[in-house]
Structure 1
Amino acid sequence: MELTKIRLQDLEAFGRSERFRTFDTKPISLARIQSYLNNPHAEPSDVVLYLLHEENKLIAFRTVFAARLMNQSKRFAWLSGNWVHPGHRRQGYSKKLLDEALKDWDERLMFTNYAPASLQLYLKTKQFQTVYLDHGTRFYFYFKSRKVLAERHPKLDFLLPVLDLFIRLAASFTHLLFRPLRVRHFSMKESALPDETCLTMAESKKDSYLFARGRRELEWILNYPWISLTDDQFVHNYPFLSFAGQFKYRTIKIFQEEKLIGFIVVLLRDGHMRTVHLQLPYDSMRIAARFLIRVAVKNKVESLTVLNPKLAHEVRKRPNPFLFHKKIEHGIYSSFPVSAAMRKIQDGEGDFIFS
Structure 2
Amino acid sequence: MNFKEIKIKELIDFIESDFYKTSDIIPISRQRAISQAKNPSGNANDVALILALDESEKIIGYIGMLPGIITIDNFSYYWNSCWWVDSEKGKMAAMPLFYKMLKISNQKMIFFDLSEKTKAIIENFNFQTKTIDGFRCFLRFNFHAKLSNKNSFFKAIKSLLLLTDCGLNLFRSIPLFFWNIATHLENKSMKEIDNEAEIFITKFKDTQLIPTQKNKINWIVKYPWIITQPNLQEKELSKRYFFSWISNSFSNKLLKVFKNQQIVGVLFFTFRDGDMKLPYSFFYNQDIDLIVQIIYQVAIENHAMSFTTFNASITERISSKRHPFIFLKKIRKYIAYPKYCINLGIENKTIQDGDGDVVFC
RMSD over equivalenced CA pairs, Å: 2.3
Match in the other structure for 1:311: 314
Contact 2:66-2:357 at 8 Å conserved across structures: no
Establish whether residue 219 from structure 1 lines up as the match of residue 218 from structure 2: yes
Contact 2:288-2:313 at 8 Å conserved across structures: yes
Deviation at 1:306, TM superposition (A): 1.4
Picking from 326, 331, 356, the partner of 1:350 is 356
- Which piece of structure 1 moves more, 101-110 or 170-179? 170-179
- Which piece of structure 1 moves more, 27-36 or 221-230? 221-230
Contact 2:193-2:214 at 8 Å conserved across structures: no
Cα displacement string for residues 221-278 of structure 1 (whole angstroms, at most 9, x for unaligned residues): 2222212344451322211122233221102321111111112110011221101100
Match in the other structure for 2:125: 126
Match in the other structure for 2:78: 77
Contact 2:122-2:336 at 8 Å conserved across structures: no
Cα displacement string for residues 299-351 of structure 1 (whole angstroms, at most 9, x for unaligned residues): 22122111102212323445444222211113321235223233222121111
| AA aligned opposite 2:209 | L
Match in the other structure for 2:268: 265
Deviation at 1:352, TM superposition (A): 0.8
Counting matched residue pairs gives 351
Partners of 1:4 and 1:346 in 2: how far apart? Answer: 32
| AA aligned opposite 2:347 | A
| AA aligned opposite 2:171 | F
TM-score (norm 2): 0.88
1:102 is paired with a residue of what secondary structure? Answer: helix
- Which piece of structure 1 moves more, 135-144 or 301-310? 135-144
Deviation at 1:193, TM superposition (A): 3.3
Match in the other structure for 1:35: 35
Deviation at 1:24, TM superposition (A): 1.5
The sequence identity of aligned pairs, in percent, is 23
Structure 2, gaps ≥5 residues long: none
**Structure 1 residues 313-328: aligned runs within 5 Å:** 313-328=316-331
Deviation at 1:158, TM superposition (A): 4.3
Contact 1:183-1:287 at 8 Å conserved across structures: no
CA separation of 1:336/1:222 partners in 2, compared to 1, >3 Å: closer, same or farther?
farther
Contact 1:40-1:216 at 8 Å conserved across structures: yes
Match in the other structure for 2:334: 331
Picking from 134, 137, 140, the partner of 2:138 is 140
Contact 1:139-1:304 at 8 Å conserved across structures: yes
**Structure 1 residues 1-355: aligned runs within 5 Å:** 1-54=1-54, 55-88=56-89, 91-123=91-123, 125-130=124-129, 132-150=130-148, 155-178=153-176, 179-180=178-179, 182=182, 186-232=185-231, 233=234, 234-339=237-342, 340-355=346-361
Partners of 1:295 and 1:41 in 2: how far apart? Answer: 30
| AA aligned opposite 1:215 | K
Partners of 2:72 and 2:14 in 1: how far apart? Answer: 34
Structure 1, gaps ≥5 residues long: none
- Which piece of structure 1 moves more, 60-69 or 216-225? 216-225
2:238 is paired with a residue of what secondary structure? Answer: coil
CA separation of 1:153/1:17 partners in 2, compared to 1, >3 Å: closer, same or farther?
closer
| AA aligned opposite 1:287 | L
Contact 1:143-1:167 at 8 Å conserved across structures: yes
TM-score (norm 1): 0.90
| AA aligned opposite 2:175 | L
Partners of 2:92 and 2:211 in 1: how far apart? Answer: 34
Partners of 2:164 and 2:106 in 1: how far apart? Answer: 54
Deviation at 1:101, TM superposition (A): 0.7
Deviation at 1:139, TM superposition (A): 1.1
Contact 1:22-1:56 at 8 Å conserved across structures: no
1:242 is paired with a residue of what secondary structure? Answer: coil
- Which piece of structure 1 moves more, 157-166 or 330-339? 157-166
